[in-house]
Amino acid sequence: MARESRFGPDAALAFSITGLVFAVPAFLLPFVSAGKFGDERVSLLFTGVGALWDNGMHALSVLVFLCGTLLPLALFGAVTVLHAPERFKCQPANVVLLIRAARFLDHWAFPEVQVLAVLVALMKLGSAVNVTIGPGFWCYCAMAAFMLLAQRSLDFESLALPPSALGSAAAPSP
């Protein structure tokens, strides 16, 4: 169907920079606060990762940390480094490696799954405790939305590399 971005050639760059901007408050501001009978707990984004680790779920903790925070940041960074040179007329050192990294990260960076998991948990906890969604959660939701927009705006063909430079990963889809 459509091969080009619907938002224009600079969309992936704009969405990735905006996602990086929203990531900072998402990591630093209160994510959720829950309380009952006057005892209130405020948690940050990484509180859940730490709780999983402390309860012996090390593999799940690492997976949540990677797919929900580290890999989205890496994808934002890769998209920014790949598309900023078009705008500023300079070329990164190893474009092929960056494109391969972005293609890999595109499949593993999915913070929207973590947003859905938190919403399901909040719905289940809502009847047992008083739950307040913090500004960190909303910033994380915005970061996830801009991640989806950046992923949909990625246009590897616009980077003007020969298909042979990318190997089999750049084969056109039917």
Give the highest mean pLDDT range of 19-23, 129-133, 161-165: 19-23
Please tell me the least confidently modeled range out of 34-43, 54-63, 81-90.
81-90
The 8-class DSSP code of residue 69 comes to I
Report yes or no: 72 and 111 within 8 Å, Cβ to Cβ: yes
> What is the mean predicted confidence (pLDDT) over 87-91?
67
Helix, strand, coil abundance in the chain, percent, nearest 5: 65, 10, 25
pLDDT at 18: 93
Report yes or no: 117 and 125 within 8 Å, Cβ to Cβ: no
pLDDT at 138: 92
Q: pTM of the predicted model, to two decimals?
A: 0.74
* End-to-end CA gap in the chain: 10
Give the highest mean pLDDT range of 8-12, 91-95, 152-156: 8-12
**Calpha distance 98→86 (Å, rounded):** 14
pLDDT at 5: 55
pLDDT at 156: 64
Q: Residue 58 — very low, low, confident or very high, per pLDDT cuts 50/70/90?
A: very high
What angle in degrees, to the nearest 10, is found between the helix axes of 58-65 and 47-54? 160
168 pLDDT higher than 50: no
**130: which strand partners?**
35
Phi, psi of 173 (to 5 degrees): -85, 145
pLDDT at 81: 83
**Calpha distance 52→100 (Å, rounded):** 31
Q: Which two tokens stand for residue 100?
A: 């391969």
Domain limits of the chain?
11-34+43-152
The 8-class DSSP code of residue 169 comes to G
- Percentage of the chain surpassing pLDDT 70? 78
Q: Give tens-digit pLDDT for 90-149.
A: 666 777 787 888 888 877 776 777 777 777 777 777 677 788 888 998 999 999 899 888
Residue appearing with tokens 């590897």:
156
**32: which strand partners?**
43, 133
